Amino acid sequence: MTDAQNPGPPTDTTAGFWPRIVTAALQAAGLYLLVRAGTATPIDWPATEPRIFLPLCLVLILAPLVVQVGLGQKSRPALAIWVTLAGCAIAGLGYWDAARGRAALYQADDLFWPRFPLLLTVGAGLFVAHVLVVDSLAERRFSPSYGRHFDTAWKLAVQAVLALVFVGIFWGVLHLGAALFAMLGIDAVTRLIGERWFAIPATTLALAVSVQATDVQPALIRGARSVALTLFSWLLPLLALILLGFLATLAVVSLDPLWRTGNATALLLTAAAGLVLLINSAYQDGAGEATRSRVKRWTALLACFELLPLVALAGLALALRVGQHGWTTARILAAAAIVLAAHHAIGYVMAALASRSWLKRIEGVNFVGAYLGLALVAALFTPLADPARLMVANQMARLKSAAVTASEFDFAALKFDGARWGAAALAELATGTTGADAVAIAAGATAALAATSRVVADRTGVAVPIEAAASRVTVYPVGRTLPGAFYQAAYAAFAEQSRPSCFERRADNCVARLIALTPGGAEAVLLVHGRAGSLFEQDGAGQWRHTAETAPDDSCGSLPEGIYRGDIGVAPHPWPDLMVGGDRLSLRPLRAGCNPD
């Protein structure tokens, strides 16, 4: 069906302007009040009640957008009903996100603001739902024509991109004007655009103007859409050939390099999503003039068959990680993405095999996929299949069955990814009655409960015990060892932001070298991590002290290589230190650079 055959829903070129302006003004007023309450010192109501504040934020951000794009697409009573239903759904998701609880990833985090993943996912779900609702109302049936879906969805997508570009340029012009006035010594414009009472309504009104301008110019939208889809469709042969080479290479080499990347699932799913986008860019609404290119048609068929191994490999990569380390919230979300990708992969292969009119059957696959995506969002962001609840249940089962040891267990994930279920699980573990290694488990749980941020939790406590850290330090000269007192001092000496990786959860190694700084003097320890080194010496009481650091730029090569060879000497400093007001400044001579040979 061509654009001429399906002009899309009628638009009112005049009546939509003032309703959009009023909607933008009301949105700005509501958001300003919420931001003022959330940034006050101390915070004001409703920020003191996250179960009220968070749903209000989501509704005020997203529901007015439904009004903006819905004006002219449906009658006012139908739009009011749809906005009300959408607002209730958005508020419900926001309420659950607040009720499930969460811990601050960073000390300065405020927990009453919506999480970006939630905002992004709900926004995407609202986009899909809006297209389905608008087209169903327009044709008065549950399954409207695919051409209408295509036209409505791509119109909204182009409008969204143009609106974002317009708002970005709008703010660029404001900052340019502020900079020009600042050159004249007038900073009033800079102060003005930095005020919330100006910035928030300016943004919402700019967004409303951009939606209005694009809504009353359907030819502009269709022209932009046609150019974008044409460009995207010619990327399909390139990506299909790249993936063909990738899959052919995998058939003759080991899969181990793929698994060692650590992000194979994400890469493979991204490739699959790119294929789906480009296949649909080539197919468009199925009209003959959009798909008459033989290159596009044959590469689209090839791409359909490439989807299946990509998704299968992504599922295998995820299964391997789950088998090794259990479920996490990220892996549960990845599993949901694989379910959606598998639906498209299987459906597209069947369409390629069975459709006499090229890929006609992908229309039904896309329609069912839209509802499947909405169902997955509804499950993952409600009590039905909350990833935090599922993750905590799985990880607790692994710990209690001794499938994972206390030293390997990620206690921080329970606190910072496990929501209220993770907090309850840590409280249970902290009692010291769980598992054969109850003491270590209790210590790890207690440390995680006390952590004030995810960074602190990852770098402190017994997440990496002293014994594990010692096993990651290679001591030179060969055959020498370091006492436990050294490791205890080193473990405690580093700040949370600069602790060597061998003392963290990551399984990196460090190198230690016993050296004498003066002839016949006591031995010190130079602990090398990466290209940095830390010096430890014993004081008169025999206690190890962290006394000095080497600068990372002091070596043209890799510090550990010289440590291995024992190529270490002592040389006097070429410059004296300067004492400036009681502070010591060390001078470093400039270097000509490193010889690449």
One DSSP character per residue, 427-456 reads HHHTTT-SSTTHHHHHHHHHHHHH-SSHHH
Classify 544 as helix, strand or coil.
Answer: strand
**Nearest CA-CA partner of 310 in 329, 352, 283, 338:** 338
Tokens of 260: 């060692």
Percent pLDDT > 70 in the chain is 84
Q: In the predicted model, what is the mean pLDDT of residues 417-446?
A: 85
pLDDT at 112 (0 to 100): 79
Report the alpha-carbon distance of residue 83 to residue 454 in Å, rounded: 38
Choose between 581 and 539: higher pLDDT: 539
User: Would you say the C-alpha torsion 313, 376, 63, 131 has a positive or negative sign?
Assistant: positive
Q: 185-194, 386-395, 408-417, 455-464: lowest mean pLDDT where? A: 455-464
Does residue 377 surpass a pLDDT of 70? yes
- Please state, in angstroms and rounded to a whole number, the distance separating the CA atoms of residues 201 and 59: 16
* DSSP assignments along 212-233, one per residue: HHHHT-HHHHHHHHHHHHHHHH
What is the average pLDDT across 323-348?
94
Rounded CA separation 485/493 (Å): 12
CA 277 to chain centre: 21
Strand pairing partners for 511?
474, 528
pLDDT digits (tens, 9 = 90+) for 239-254: 999 999 999 998 888 7
At residue 309, does pLDDT exceed 50?
A: yes
pLDDT tens for each residue of 91-134: 999 999 999 988 766 655 677 788 888 999 999 999 999 999 98
The two structure tokens encoding residue 197: 């009472």
Q: Is the pLDDT of residue 408 over 90?
A: no
In this prediction, residues 553-581 reach a mean pLDDT of: 68
Least confident of 287-291, 292-296, 313-317, 500-504: 287-291
Instruction: Reply yes or no on whether the pLDDT at 288 is more than 70.
Output: no
Report the chain's C-alpha Rg in angstroms: 30
- Name 536's bridge partners: 525, 546
**Which one has a higher pLDDT value, 39 or 559?**
39
What is the rounded average pLDDT of the residues 310-322? 93
pLDDT band at 385 (very low <50, low <70, confident <90, very high): very high
Query: For the residues 293-305, what does the mean pLDDT come to?
Result: 88
Average pLDDT rounded to a whole number, residues 352-378: 89
- Residue 558: the pLDDT is 54
Tens digits of residue pLDDT in 21-30? 999 999 999 9
Pairing of strands 523-529, 532-538: antiparallel
CA dihedral 258, 259, 264, 265 (to 10 degrees): 140
Q: Are 23 and 68 in contact (CB under 8 A)?
A: yes
Q: Over the stretch 31-60, which tens digit does the pLDDT of each residue have? A: 999 999 988 888 889 988 999 999 999 999
pLDDT value of residue 481: 84
- Evaluate whether 98 touches 158 at the Cβ level (below 8 Å): no
- pLDDT of 236 over the 60 cut: yes
Nearest-10 Cα torsion for 5, 7, 10, 15:
-150
pLDDT-derived band at 498 (thresholds 50, 70, 90) equals low
Residues 6+ apart with CB under 8 A from 206: 166, 167, 170
Reported as a pLDDT band with limits 50, 70 and 90, residue 439 is confident
Task: Supply the mean pLDDT for the chain.
Answer: 83
Amino acid at 274: G
Q: What is the pLDDT of residue 409?
A: 84
Q: What is the pTM of this model?
A: 0.76
Dmax (CA) of the chain: 94
Question: Which single residue is written with the structure tokens 């600042």?
Answer: 182
How many percent of the chain have pLDDT more than 90?
A: 39
Residue 460 scores a pLDDT above 60: no
